[in-house]
Amino acid sequence: MSFDGYKTVIKEGDSVILYLTINQYYILEAKNTAVSKKGATVQNIFQTPYGPIICGDLIGKLYGTKIQLKKGWAYVLQPTPEFWTEILPHRTQIIYSTDISMILFYLELKPTSIVVESGTGSGSLSHAIIRRIKPSGHLYTFDFHETRAEVARNEFKDHGLGEYVTVQTRDVCTNGFGKEMENKADAIFLDLPQPWLAANYTTQVFKKSGGRLCSFSPCVEQVQKMCAALSNLGYQDIQTVEILQSQFSVQKKKMSVLNLNILKTQNDGKCEKSEKEYVNFITSVLPNSLPGHTGYLTSATFPPCY
């Protein structure tokens, strides 16, 4: 329920992030009861490595509260697209937050933007798009896999985002985006195995004022075909980037320095060896491992056609 904006108090049915550590967090529902695997109504208890939590007890608590567990403690936090990307049930490969941040930037999204996306997949990117464009923008997202589209639709509804998104089952590579999408979009995003086929239908989808397109592909051969297709279709500013996030480690270090104040000048004008001194300082250290490849982002501008 509470993906739609920030709240102070946890209400019955709200989604809550139970944050144990930077690498350990879960999503749960603030509800007194749950349905067991056997179909019986039971008390809603969530098990964590630090002990169980009775989910109904969260109702009425403030977001941000520190909760005592049997063997430790946790914070109850607002759900965000970033948390969701880390813990969502994977139905497909998903796009992660580093690439997502650049996709939102390349698409130049803002509240009021009308965005077309395919495929919907597990809805990882869709959650971030919706947060950026609401309350007056809209996301039209297409997936040809009926069950995936249905599950995503229900998930958006459960998260209180239903009014900002329309999920459609459609093969956009064969059938395009449909008559009703003509001259509607400010931005188009494609995460498909053959995006160049869908690209053929994108030019009708943009508003007369043009817009921005971005496509995610894991392989460079896909990128080559996509860039060629975009160029043939009249797209401009075509560029492809690979976003590799390398995380530096911030560490305390000790270093010996020359203390010029205690240098003594001898009769012959030479300096005596100085005494060693050490200073503590904070520095950042290069990461031990190289960041892994996720995919290439190709972005382009579709020019206005009045």
Ligand X SMILES: C[S@@+](CC[C@H](N)C(=O)[O-])C[C@H]1O[C@@H](n2cnc3c(N)ncnc32)[C@H](O)[C@@H]1O
Q: Which residues here bind ligand X, judged by CB under 6 A? A: 92-95, 118-119, 121-125, 142-145, 148, 171-173, 191-193
Taking the complex as a whole, the smallest distance from the CB of residue 166 to ligand X amounts, in Å, to: 14
By beta-carbon proximity to ligand X, the closer residue of 31 and 91 is: 91
| Cα 108 to Cα 119: distance, rounded to the nearest angstrom | 20
Report, in Å, the least distance between residue 140 CB and ligand X: 12
Handedness of CA 89, 7, 1, 56 (dihedral sign): positive
Least separation in angstroms between CB 296 and ligand X? 14
Instruction: Answer yes or no: is 119 a known binding residue.
Output: no
* Cα Rg, the chain, nearest whole Å: 26
15-21: strand order across its sheet: 24-29, 15-21, 72-77, 66-69
- The response to whether 143 counts as a known ligand-binding position is yes
Check the annotation: does 284 bind a ligand.
Answer: no
Cα separation, 28 vs 47, whole angstroms: 10
Q: Which is nearer to ligand X, 67 or 205 (CB)?
A: 205
Question: Which residue number, 146 or 275, has a Cβ lying nearer to ligand X?
Answer: 146
Annotated ligand binding at 191? The verdict is: yes
> Does the annotation list 122 as a binding residue?
yes
Residue 117 C-beta: closest distance to ligand X, Å: 7
User: H or E stretch including 198?
Assistant: helix 195-202
Instruction: Collect all residues with Cβ–Cβ distance below 8 Å to 108 and sequence separation of at least 6.
Output: 186, 187, 212
Q: Which residue's CB is nearer to ligand X, number 82 or number 171? A: 171
Residue list for the binding site for S-adenosyl-L-methionine: 122-125, 143, 171, 191
